[in-house]
Structure formats: C-alpha cells, structure tokens
Amino acid sequence: MESGSVIKLRIRFPAFVVKTLQNGTGGWVDIEKQVSNGTTVLQLLKGLATVYPGFREGLFNPDTGTVGEQIGVVLNNQLLTFAEMTQTKISNNDSLVILPIYSGG
C-alpha cells in the first residue's frame, strides 16, 4: 500500500472494557475501524482510548501507561507482547482481539 492510504481492520473486545457500550447486556463488541497506513497496534489502542470512554481504564495500567498484564492483545491469532505492540504495524483486513487474562487458584 502506498503512503497515506487507509487500512481497514476488525476489532473485537469484551463489552466490560468499555462500560458505556455495555448497556447492561455484557457480551462482545465488534467494530470495524480505518487507520492510516503505518499505524502500530499500540497507536491504534491509544486512539481507541480517546474515542471510547472507559477504554483507557479497562486496558491500560494507570501507573505505567502500558497495556495491563491482565489483558491479552491478539493480532491475527498471534498474542503480542507490549514491545511487539509498539512495533507491529497494522495491515489491511487484520483482525485484532482484546482478551482479559484470568488467573488464580
């Protein structure tokens, strides 16, 4: 794709990440988004945090500004580390899933 072009992708995340979209029903939110060519996964996530109230609190660690350790970000079936999120650029028709990671005993 040439510079300045637009890339389309699909994003899926649990509704509780964005409480304002939940409307008491829970479940999943599926959206299609367009971003500029060259956008990284982290840039996309930060952009979503400015658009959807509550997204920042549900996704990012308030102390470090990084994606919380209890959140998994999966791009095209590959779980990304935070370092990979800062470097991986989104391609046309990618699929991004944001998953809560539960632990305990």
Q: What are the residue boundaries of the structural domains of the chain, listed by start?
A: 6-100
Mean pLDDT by 10 residues, the chain (105 residues): 76 75 66 94 92 79 84 94 95 93 69
Taking Cα atoms as reference points, which of 15, 8, 33 lies closest to residue 99?
15
pLDDT of residue 74: 96
CB 49 within 8 A of CB 60: yes
Amino acid identity, position 105: G
Cα separation, 63 vs 57, whole angstroms: 11
* CATH 3.10.20.30 at 6-100, yes or no: yes
Residue 5 CB contacts under 8 Å (≥ 6 apart), including other chains: 36, 37
Q: Which tokens sit at 53?
A: 């109230």
Cα separation, 28 vs 25, whole angstroms: 9
pLDDT of residue 71: 86
